[in-house]
Amino acid sequence: MRAALLALGLLAVSTAVQAEPVEVLSFGSFTPQDYAGIINGTYRQSPVELQGHLSLPPSSGRRIPAVVIVPGSGGYAQWMQDTVAAPLNRIGIATLIVDSFSGRGVKETARDQGRVPMAASVLDGFQALAMLARHPGIDGQRIGITGFSRGGVAALFTAERRLADALAAGNPGQPRFAAHLPFYPGCSTQWDNPRPAAAPLLLLLGARDDYTPAAICLAYAVRLRLAGADVNTRLYDTAGHAWMADYPARRSNVQTFGECDLRIEDDGQIRDAKSGASSREGWKEFAAKVMTSCGGTGATIGADAEARIAATADMVAFFRRTLRP
């Protein structure tokens, strides 16, 4: 009976009707090789045009809050609209799902993370924030961010004050995110000396995740809290990786970095503690060396009905509290 109820709940979530049609918008971003490129401003040397899928619920003429949604290594998929955007739309929150890959000529990075720098996905989140803040129907002071796996890293690292401060210095009026909610982010890369923003942060993690292990994120959350972050975590006992997706759990030949210890220095360069490799030599070369040093292949990914229902409720409650729709 419990399984049947969960299946019915999952069906209700996944088949939800949108409040408004989805509009595809174009916006500019860049492709920094690492976080140093964002901090020192050299990211502007690599412009790219991306797309975002915007869904606006009825607003009664008032500016409404919004959430930026950043996909994982598999790229944009319809389930993100059905299971993540739709519940937020129903409580009066607009959503923008970022497509980080199509504009860069890439379909996915799951089997080769060297194709697109991780810092590029983080910057895409900031660029989407700036675009939404200019939208006449959006309240620029009430914009949150979420994302899955790689996109979870974007939701996590947009809460790093160094990056937000650097972008604000070069763009007067640059808004700040009001809330951050990463789904199963990869935490094997961490800031050596994190400087978290004041906005609330909630990490949603899977206890059975063998792709981006929860234990590493739980430890990082402690470090963030000691640095002054308003951070909380949720751990779902039955969940592996990608439990929000719409495909059955399966074994996949993805690159994994759960055994790595990658540290971001104060200037934004990334170093591999095991091999000594540095991102200053370029992302593609760095990613290849890290893969040789501490990477692996193979993880279980896919939907978990129980975790998906619980996480959707936690997501809605978090953004209802922090963005006040």
Q: Letter for the amino acid at 96?
A: L
pLDDT value at residue 2: 39
Q: Flag whether the pTM goes above 0.85.
A: yes
d(CA 126, CA 237): 32
Q: Is 260 left (phi over 0), alpha (psi -120 to 50) or beta?
A: beta
| pLDDT, block means (10 residues), the chain with 325 residues | 41 44 95 97 96 92 96 97 97 97 97 98 98 96 98 98 94 91 98 98 98 98 98 98 97 97 98 96 97 97 98 98 96
Q: Mind listing the domains of the chain with CATH numbers? A: 2-247+301-323 (3.40.50.1820)
pLDDT value at residue 214: 98
| 8 A C-beta contact, residue 134 and residue 123 | no
pLDDT value at residue 172: 80
pLDDT value at residue 7: 44
pLDDT value at residue 171: 81
pLDDT value at residue 259: 96
Q: Give bridge partners of residue 53 from the DSSP assignment.
A: 24, 97
pLDDT value at residue 174: 86
| 8 A C-beta contact, residue 214 and residue 241 | no
